[in-house]
Amino acid sequence: MGLALSLPTAVAAHVLADAPCIHRIGQLDVRLAVSDAEIAAAQALRYQIFYDEMGATPTAEMARQRRDSDDYDAVCDHLLVVDHGLASVSGARPHVVGTYRLLRQDVAERHRGFYSAAEYDLSRLIAQSSKTGQLLELGRSCVAPAWRNNATITLLWRGIAAYLQAHRIGHMFGCASLHGADPLLHSAELSYLFHHHLAPPELRARAHDSNHVPMDRLPAAMIDPRLAARALPPLIKGYLRVGAMVGDGGFVDHQFNTVDVFVIMPVDRITSRYAARFGGANDAQ
C-alpha cells in the first residue's frame, strides 16, 4: 500500500462525489463536509498540526486514534480544502489539506452554546446579535505545511464567504492563538493588539476573571507597531486585514500550548477588496 493510500487525511473519491464543491483552484477545491469520513480526515489533519507540529497535549483516546476531536464536532459544520492531485496516482485518494470548524448561533443555542464561552464572556456580543444578525464562530483552523500558500488560504476564504451569504451572518468570531503558553513571550504582540485593534465595548468579549491575562502589558509608546504586527501569526494578520478587532484579555490554553486572543469580525466591515474578490463564492468553478 502506497503512502497516498495510507494517509489518515485521505477521503474516498466516491464520498466526495456525493456533494458539489464551493469553488476550485487547479487540483484543490473547498467544500463543506457531508460525511463522517470527511470529518474524520479533518480531525486527523488537526491532530497532525496541533499535536505533532505545535506540541498540544492529547487525551489518551485522541493519541490512540490520532484525531483531534471533541463534542462540538458533531454539531459544527466543517469546511474542507481537498487536494485531488493524488487521484492521478494509481489507487490514490484525495485528501484534506485545510479545514475550519463553523458554528452558527442558531445551532449553538440548540445545543451547548459556543466553544469560546469556556474562555470568554460573550454576553455583550450575543445581546448585539439581535440587532446585527446571527453570530458565526470560527475555530480549529489549520493547513498542512506543504499547502500553506495563497491558493489554499484563498479557498478557505471563498468557503467562508459562501457560508456568510447562505446564513446571513452579522459577525464572525473565534479564538486565535499565539504559539507558546507564556504571555511574557507575547508582550509586544498582545499590547499591539490591545492598543490598535481593541473592539468597541458593545462587541468586546472579555476573558473570564479566573483566567484573564492582561493584554496592555506595554505602553503604546514602547511598541514598534510594524515589528509587533509582523510578529503576529499569519492567521491573525489575515483576520486584521479583513477588519478584525480583539476582545479584552488573553487566555492561556495549556493543552494547546498557546495564548489565545478573542477576535471579532463584523461582516459589514470586511474590506471592499475582499468583498469584491469573494462575493461570487457560491459558484463552483
Q: Which domain holds residue 174?
A: 3-278
Instruction: Give the H or E element holding residue 128.
Output: helix 123-132
Tens digits of per-residue pLDDT, 176-212?
A: 999 999 999 999 999 999 999 999 999 999 999 999 9
Q: What CATH number is attached to the domain comprising 8? A: 3.40.630.30
Does residue 31 lie in a domain region? Answer: yes
Structural element, H or E, at residue 141: strand 134-143
- Other CB atoms within a 10 A radius of the CB of residue 278 amount to 20
φ, ψ of residue 120 in degrees (nearest 5): -130, 150
State the sign of the Cα–Cα–Cα–Cα dihedral 251, 256, 257, 262: negative
84 vs 226: CA distance, rounded Å: 39
Please report whether residue 284 resides in a domain: no
**All residues at 6 or more sequence positions from 55 whose CB lies less than 8 Å from its CB, including other chains:** 257
% pLDDT > 70, the chain: 89
Per-residue pLDDT, averaged over 136-156, amounts to: 94
Q: pLDDT tens, 37-66?
A: 999 999 999 999 999 999 999 999 999 999
pTM to 2 decimals? 0.90
What domain count does the chain have? Answer: 1
- Between these two residues, 69 and 165, which has the higher pLDDT value? 69
Q: Rounded CA gap, 236 and 244, in Å?
A: 9
116 neighbors 135 (Cβ within 8 angstroms): no
Any domain includes 283? no
Q: And the C-alpha cell for 122?
A: 460573550
